[in-house]
Amino acid sequence: MNNKNGNNKITIGVSGMHCASCAKIIENKLNKEDSIKEISVNPLTEQAEISYNPETFNQEDISKKVKDLGYSLNISKENNDLDEIKDQKEKELKDQRIKLSFAIPVTVIILFFVFWNIFSSQPLPSDNIFTPFAFIAASITLFWIGFRFIKAAIRFFRTGQANMDTLIGVGTGTAYFYSAIILFFPQLRETLNLKEMYFFDVTVVVVTLVFLGKYLENKAKAKTSEVIEKLINLQTKTAIVEKDGKEKEVLINELKLNDVVIVKPGMKVPADGAIVFGQSALDESLLTGESIPVDKKKGDEVIGSTINSYGLIKVKINKVGKDTVLSNIIKAIERAQNSKAPIQKLADQVAGVFVPIVLALAVITLATWLILGSMYLGWPLAVSLGITCFVSILAIACPCALGLATPTGIMVGLGLASKNGLLIKNASSLEKFGKTKVIVLDKTGTITTGQPDVDDIVSIQISKEEILRISASLEKGSEHPLAQAIVKMAKEKNTKINQVMSFKDFPGRGVSGKINGNKYWLGNASLINELKAPLPEEQLKKLAAQGKTPVILSDEKNVLGIITISDQIKESAKEAIAQLHKMGIKTIMLSGDHKKTAEHIAKEAGIYKVIAEVSPTEKAEVVRKIKGQGKITAMVGDGVNDAVALVEADVGIAMANGSDIAIESADITVLHGELDKIVKALKISKLTMKKIKQNLFWAFFYNIIAIPVAAGVFYPNFGLLLSPIIAAGAMSFSSLSIVFNTLLMKRAKI
């Protein structure tokens, strides 16, 4: 596919990954390819996003190179079918359950023997019963359940590429083959003066615990991406199409542009379109986060997969398939989940070098025990301690927890944002927004509704009802926003509309006409002033200072009344701005309006600072200057005139009820244009980064503490030695704890 900058990008599935090291291996290999401009591999979603040169990119060649590393690319499609991916995951989990149904009982038996020999005064006859059983169990466990670990170890010796599986494969393989050699070649054991100590139990338990940990981890990881599945499930499978007066039920993929579909109460709108018959209220909560149904009437746009609450409506389809709002949301979330936050670079860099370092440490530890240990403890004990420490280091130091720390946080954070009606384009924006110190807000459509409404009716010579009746009658045929505001109020109050004779339009100033034989003028002060009717100057000045637009009604001699119109502040704006200030964020309002009008709106909304009478290009310049002060700056807007400023800001935020250009330019889109969603976005960003930092801290801390203990540093003085069995359990627990710690975000009240 082609992105908006003209770069070719493709998102494809990657099979066989188990940790961040796997992703790093693939990235390092493919980044060397001239045909690939950029690649981002996400081990959590098991997808790679590749930006490539179409003239030199060869999918088969790339697939072969990845296969040589022990992984495989699904390049049959540009975007993987989500149902197919889900089925594949279920199949993988089922296979893991079958293997665990053998491994767990065997491990329990092995552990029974181990602990009996440790704690019982009468050991079981291990030579006749335990050792043969342990050998058979270890052979089946290693070469069936843990075969991927063996393959990883072989790949390491063949290519030099190492990942988490390499550590387990080398560790358990060493324990198994050492034990097998001294079991089947007793003369060699006696010649080398080796102690008759077997590690078959270590092989069985370590492989099982790691495998069990991966199974539980895979089940937990599936929950981090359930937002995509929920969005997919929103789509209805069929639609009722009306053609030639008849109804026909068709599959959703058979829908065509301009088809008219019937949506009955309780049904979902099958695809995006416009209502051509009827009216209703549509539940858009799963797309926008808003629980209150939105009223819709003839001519209004509707979004596919929203639910019709009560009335029967007919919808003319104008978007199908991949062009619908829901499809674009799904694609945007997938792209965001596959993107990487800046903080993940640290984890990726560490994971990339961590495995080789651990392997080196394990070898050094083994060599140290064999050389120095044999001098003080004797050769037989030194060998057994060396192998124990060697396996323990490889088992406990896997960087799996480190690799999970960031992507799990990003995925849950993006899912939480989607649930709250926020569409975040990439992980970088999610991270950066939480660091924002200044939020620049466009006025119209962001702080205000963008739709003029009647504020008040000021009676001077006649009643308010009469002023509204005459004014609405004069304005009923006008398309001007101020005229529509007056007519709208008249309809709401069921005001009678009279016929107007001798109608005349004064462009930019007002209108005039005769009603029941009386001549009236309705317009601004310039028009009324020409009639020589005395204007209420002080009252008009006061209204202007309040940011209200006066529409004056007059007859041939006197001003009869004034209708004040203003762009109303959104209900959520004041509270949202107050919360932003409590969070230590400075707010600035930009507006092209007159200074007094803008200042009044800013004061009423509680804005910290206002900059008025600015052009679209000047808006971008203002944002640029604020950024120049070293402050992370976000810009919130909804119009075409905001697009440049949205791009200029560190984080651009668009209201979804605004222009397509603004939305395309933004990093975050608010699916229901209310400012309180901006507060939610900040909270989600901060919570996500907090969880990621917690995860990274514990992953680093865990390895720093665990490796010296596993290496036997404390054994000479304190007799403290870490069993490989405990090391494997601790490694699995660390990965699981990070996943479950991240999943706690779902319970957070945003």
Radius of gyration of the chain (CA): 35
| Given 348, 442, 455, 650, the catalytic residue | 442
Q: Residue 621's CB: how many other CB atoms inside 10 A?
A: 14
Under 8 Å CB-to-CB from 265, ≥6 apart: which residues?
A: 280, 308, 309, 310, 311, 312
Structure tokens at 651: 């984080």
CA distance 450 to 427: 31
Element at 241 (helix H, strand E): strand 238-243
DSSP H or E run through 561 = strand 559-569
Report the candidate in 489, 452, 482, 445 with the shortest Cα–Cα distance to residue 467. Answer: 489
For tokens 């100590």, what's the residue?
197
Provide the b/e sequence for 146-169 (b: ≥16 CB within 10 Å). bebbbebbebbeeeebbbbbbbbb
CB 720 within 8 A of CB 386: no
Alpha-carbon span 111 to 473, nearest angstrom:
91
Give the residue among 610, 582, 680 at the shortest CA–CA distance from 443: 610
Residue 473: closest CA among 414, 436, 520, 508: 520
Beta strands in 253-368, from DSSP E residues, in sequence order: 260-263, 272-277, 280-283, 294-296, 301-302, 307-308, 313-319
Per the annotation, the verdict on 87 as an active-site residue is no
Element (H, E) at 589: strand 586-590
Are 556 and 520 a contacting pair, CB within 8 Å?
no
* Pair 565, 467: CB distance under 8 Å: no
Active site residues: 442
